[in-house]
Amino acid sequence: MSGVSPEDFEAAGIYDPASAHGVERLELLEYLGSRGVTLQSMVEAAASGGLVALAAELPLQVGGDPVSIEEVATASATTVDRVRRVRLASGLPADLGEPGHPGLPPTVVDDIVSFEAGAALFGEAPTLSFTRVMGAAVARVSEAAVSLFLTEHAPTLGADASERARAQAAEDGIATFIAVTPGLMTNLLREHMTLAIRRSVAQRSLEVDERAVTVGLGFVDLVGSTAWAAGLTLKDHALALAGFEAAAWDIASAHGGRIVKLIGDEAMFMAPSGADAARIALELCRSVSTDAALPDARGAAGYGTVGARDGDYFGPLVNLVARAVKLADPGWVVVTEAVRRDLDDSPAEGEPIEVIEIRGPELRGVSEPVRLFALR
């Protein structure tokens, strides 16, 4: 950005030459200007305390002039309403491109064309649903990447690092992420798609229902987590939960399963069999018990037919297992009769498993009697 002087920065209210940090601030502003950031963008960022973060956005910009939402609709042979719906399903603002807004990246046209191709093959509603899953996944990756920089990389600069140094580090960090992520994500997608196809073949019974799958599934949660968390700093709480999540992820993967979702102090997972689901829960409870930063854990596991949608599962069995967790004592795992039978049919090497039948279990929302067993 040429032709902008220190006086312009001062007049815009983002630079005070008399300030103790005036020289440092001017270095940052001139650096941003040299990278093509407009004065207006600096003013808007300064208002929210995000001047340094502006540099991190530079590697994310795409070439070409912004386009309006009407131009996107015309170029992709669809409607403005359709573009808005796809943007919202992706977890992105839908009002960009309207009067008073900066416009949409020109790459949005390709995104909408891809959506239309998917909708033509699978239908609008299923494709929108899949778009929401992708948007949620990418949003989480993005949040994790930014958090990684803020919690791990930025502190290495030191508290006395200048604003310009922090801005350059932010730009370099995001540039590195952008450089390595496409190849890594493509490779991960290939392998996970292969696993998903194989799991689908093993799980699905299309003659019954195209959404019906037969799987082992389970939940593990931390006992007394509310009181436990109240005694920790936010940083210590986050680090402890990271240990729980890492153990859950690794143990599920080792048994051919996967984590379906993590909700704070609870992990939901799926597995190829009931025995695998029980072993994942048992191993995770044991792993948690050896981590001094965590309270004890308890779990539950079941096996049977459930509904599958967007990588998640639903149905009576899911509800039963989710409620059965609350019956488990710390370190124990409650399982259904199908899981108990599966364990009997597939004994594993290692420590023996203690089994106790739970007499007359009462589960909220479950009216029919069920046989449940506690394992340790």
List the domain boundaries for the chain.
6-49, 69-198, 204-375
Query: CA 318, CA 3: separation in Å to the nearest integer?
Result: 64
Q: What angle do CA 188, 189, 195 make, to 5 degrees?
A: 90
- How, if at all, do strands 266-271 and 297-309 pair? unpaired
State yes or no: pLDDT of 97 exceeds 70.
no
DSSP string, 91-156: TS-S-TTSTTS--B-TTHHHHHHHHHHHHHHH-HHHHHHHHHHHHHHHHHHHHHHHHHIIIIIGGG
The CB-based long-range contact list for 73-81 (8 Å cut-off, 24+ gap) reads 73/112, 75/109, 76/109, 76/112, 76/113, 76/116, 77/116, 78/112, 78/116
pLDDT band at 99 (very low <50, low <70, confident <90, very high): low
State yes or no: pLDDT of 2 exceeds 80.
no
pLDDT of residue 277: 96
pLDDT of residue 96: 60
More confident residue, 309 or 123: 123
Spatial contact of 173 and 56, defined as CB atoms under 8 Å apart: yes
Task: Bin 158: left if φ > 0, else alpha if -120 < ψ < 50, else beta.
Answer: left
The SS3 of residue 347 is coil
pLDDT of residue 147: 78
Architecture field, domain 204-375: 2-Layer Sandwich (3.30)
pLDDT of residue 77: 95
**Helix (H) / strand (E) containing 11:** helix 6-11
Q: How much is the pTM?
A: 0.73
pLDDT of residue 311: 84
Query: What mean pLDDT do residues 117-131 have?
Result: 93
Query: What mean pLDDT do residues 21-27 have?
Result: 91
pLDDT band at 306 (very low <50, low <70, confident <90, very high): very high
Cα–Cα distances in angstroms (integers) from residue 356 to residues 249, 273, 328, 334, 353, in the given order: 28, 21, 11, 9, 10
State yes or no: pLDDT of 16 exceeds 90.
yes
pLDDT of residue 209: 65
Six-digit token string for 81: 């309403």
Question: What tens digit of pLDDT does each residue of 343-371 get?
Answer: 988 766 666 788 899 886 777 767 677 88
Spatial contact of 268 and 276, defined as CB atoms under 8 Å apart: no
State yes or no: pLDDT of 47 exceeds 80.
yes
Query: What mean pLDDT do residues 269-279 have?
Result: 94
Cα–Cα distances in angstroms (integers) from residue 174 to residues 46, 154, 193, in the given order: 20, 12, 27
Average pLDDT of the chain, as a whole number: 87
Six-digit token string for 258: 């996967």
Strand partners of residue 163: none
Classify residue 165 as exposed, middle or buried by CB count within 10 Å of its CB (0-12, 13-18, 19+): middle
Spatial contact of 312 and 263, defined as CB atoms under 8 Å apart: no
Instruction: Kindly give, in sequence order, each residue whose CB lies less than 8 Å from that of residue 174, ignoring residues fewer than 6 positions away.
Output: 56, 57, 58, 59, 60, 145, 149
The SS3 of residue 72 is helix
pLDDT of residue 219: 97
Query: CA 301, CA 209: separation in Å to the nearest integer?
Result: 23
Task: Bin 3: left if φ > 0, else alpha if -120 < ψ < 50, else beta.
Answer: left
Instruction: Kindly give, in sequence order, each residue whose CB lies less than 8 Å from that of residue 75, ignoring residues fewer than 6 positions away.
Output: 67, 109
- Report the chain's terminal Cα–Cα distance, integer Å: 66
For the beta carbon of residue 159, count every other beta carbon within 10 angstroms: 5
**Least confident segment among 187-201, 307-321, 357-371:** 357-371
